[in-house]
Amino acid sequence: MRRDPRRFKDSVYGHIARLGKAVAAPKRLELLDLLCQSPRTVEVLAGQAGVSIANASRHLQILRAAGLVDADKKGLYVEYRLAVEEVGRFYLALRSLAESRLAEIDKVASAFFEQRKAPESVDGDELLRRVRSGEVTVLDVRPVEEYRAGHLPGALSVPVADLPAKLEELPKGREVVAYCRGPHCVMAVEAVALLRNKGFKAQRLEQGVLEWRARGWRIETAAAESRKGSRSRARP
């Protein structure tokens, strides 16, 4: 039995549209952004996205039905994660397209960061050169769980809330570059403001792990570093 070409196309585009519908809500985009950093439970996602657990659960179920996220049972909790790494690239491409085509995003972001007197960001290529040459200290100011899941090579984990108590541990006389979850994340802005107030020469890196990975640059994980350390200690 021959299939009607029109029905075939309608079916294909209908399934593709499921992805569009799944991300057609600001909170679901924010949840995807958070999951691009690391897996986490519904409870944690709800708190970080500023919604109730029930609402977060409903949004996650829609994302899961579209094949964008998956979940694993971890004891009494359900932990969500991106279904495949390609979802992160999809989210980044969508965000980049929106930033290039919708002037409102730049206006909102510029007004917000100007109000906070946010420092100019450092380009990723320039940072890479300076890191490799040992010119700067790189701080990952996201929560520790996100750092463990993936961070820039050589970065130190200092969550922004812990930074005031960690200032004495930072290398003296070296410039500090802080990063967090990407261009719309404010944790690095707060970290740089604090560092400058305490006399450090500090800059903000606009890119986060997601952008770094998309450019094909190496990302380190806590598990990989632990294995590397174990092999080093095992050598005679």
180 has catalytic annotation: yes
User: How many C-beta atoms lie closer than 10 Å to residue 102's C-beta?
Assistant: 11
Please name the residue that has the structure tokens 């495949």. 84
- Contact between residue 88 and residue 36 where contact means Cβ atoms under 8 Å apart: yes
Of 137, 160, 159, 131, whose CA–CA distance to 147 is shortest? 159
What length is written for the chain? 236
Determine which helix (DSSP H) or strand (DSSP E) holds 57, and give its type and residue range: helix 53-65
Catalytic residue among 44, 127, 136, 180: 180
Q: What are the Cα distances from residue 140, in Å, to 38, 110, 145, 160, 176?
A: 14, 23, 11, 9, 11
Q: Give me the active site residues, please.
A: 180
